[in-house]
Amino acid sequence: MISGLFSCIGCLFTFASFILNLFTVIGQLSNKTFINRLYFAQASQQTTGQNVNLGLWNYCMSNSQGVQSCSHPTPGFDWTTAPGINQALPSVHLSQGLFLGAFILFIIGLCFSFLLWVAGMPLCCVPRRSVGASMSTFIFITFLVMLTALIMELVFILRGNYLLNQADPTWTGHAGNSLWMTIGSVISLLIAFFCYGGSCCCVGKKAAVGAAGAGAAVGAKKKRGLFGRRTKVDPSDDKNADLEDAAAAGGAGAGGGRSPYNLNQSVYQSVKQHQSPQMGQQQQPYQANDGGGHYSPVVSSQGFEHQPRNDMNSPHLSGRQQGYQTPILQQSDANAGGGYN
């Protein structure tokens, strides 16, 4: 709750910074009633009553009645080339790159503040520390950009006013509206940085524990079926097949040299066979061979058919009947005793 509140406040101050930067950048782009009053500095000539308004793009000439004309917009306008100032300071020329650099910094700050405001609106409802840390980092970078641009503009205004007054005492200068809007933009970014940092710190252990509990609940839901019962094992599942193969391999290793016949024989010894009278006339009771011959089961279409392994000198070869069939396993009777009939 507190994290979302801090994020919303940070997004609001980011929007305020964007609006202030926007008005700063579009200052004096046209000779309109509101836009022509947005400038960084104003140099006034006391004898003539003329004012020179200096902005990012151009200069405008004004008097007590208002703005009269504006020059053609040029990115990174050099203030020392304005009429009247170039005559008072013929030997003072600041580098054109400084004004152009300040102009670029304002454009970068405007773009960053807009993108951060757009990205911050949907992220206000995401209580994650990574979101707060990322937003605070990008806002701090934008704050540094705008702070650098503000310092450059302050140097231009203060240094230019001092040099102009020293060259001609009839000239005076003061800061304009754009400078105060830039200061407001920088302060808004600083507040937004602290707000997003607070949202990052306010995400306590409850959110982390809640996320871990949600993950554990999902894992438990996968293990249990409907109404809390355990899910049935699917024989066709690849994981179950792998487990069965591993168990079969382990059983084969533990059994040593035990033959498959002994395992089948134990099954025959534990289940009682029920035979019909007709079948009893054709079949004889199944007896295990105690002699030297060993039987091995052979799978056929009619069931298990036991054949002797030792084809030579086996007493079962001579005594085997023509109509002998392998007994068929049926459901055992719980009340009757175990055995074979």
Spatial separation of the C-alpha atoms in residues 268 and 333, rounded to whole Å: 14
Rounded average pLDDT over 87-96: 67
R_g of the chain, CA atoms, integer Å: 48
Instruction: Quote the crossing angle between the two packed helices 2-25 and 177-201, to the nearest 10°.
Output: 160
Report pLDDT for 338: 47
Q: What is the pLDDT of residues 268-310, one digit of tens each?
A: 444 444 444 444 444 444 444 444 444 444 444 444 444 544 4
Residue 111 φ then ψ, to 5°: -65, -45
> What is the C-alpha separation between 257 and 13, in angstroms, rounded?
81
Q: Is the pLDDT of residue 156 over 60?
A: yes
pLDDT at 100 over 80: yes
The domain spans of the chain are: 2-206, 259-272+293-308
Q: Is the pLDDT of residue 207 over 90?
A: no
Task: Band the pLDDT of 206: cuts 50, 70, 90.
Answer: low
| Mean residue pLDDT across the chain | 71
Share of the chain above pLDDT 90, in %: 24
Grade residue 87 by pLDDT with cuts at 50, 70 and 90: confident
Q: Which residue has the higher pLDDT, 36 or 199?
A: 36
- Ordered DSSP codes for 114-152: HHHHHHHHHHTT---HHHHHHHHHHHHHHHHHHHHHHHH
pLDDT at res. 142: 95
Q: Long-range contact list for 254-261, CB < 8 A, 24+ apart?
A: 259/294, 259/296, 260/296, 260/297, 261/294, 261/295, 261/296, 261/297
Average pLDDT over residues 246-251: 52
The dihedral through the CA atoms of 26, 31, 34, 36 has a sign that is positive
Average of per-residue pLDDT across 125-154 = 88
Q: Answer yes or no: are the C-beta atoms of 296 and 290 closer than 8 Å.
A: no
Residue 298: enclosing H or E segment and its boundaries?
strand 295-300
Q: How many CB atoms lie within 10 A of CB 102?
A: 20
CA distances from 335 to 6, 268, 272, 286 (A): 77, 18, 11, 22
What would the pLDDT profile of 249-266 be if each residue is shown by its tens digit?
Answer: 555 444 444 444 444 444
Are the beta carbons of 57 and 25 closer than 8 angstroms?
Answer: no
Q: What is the pLDDT of residues 24-36, one digit of tens each?
A: 999 888 888 888 8
CATH topology of domain 2-206: Butyryl-CoA Dehydrogenase, subunit A; domain 3 (1.20.140)
Give the pLDDT score at 25: 93
Task: Provide the pLDDT for residue 253.
Answer: 47
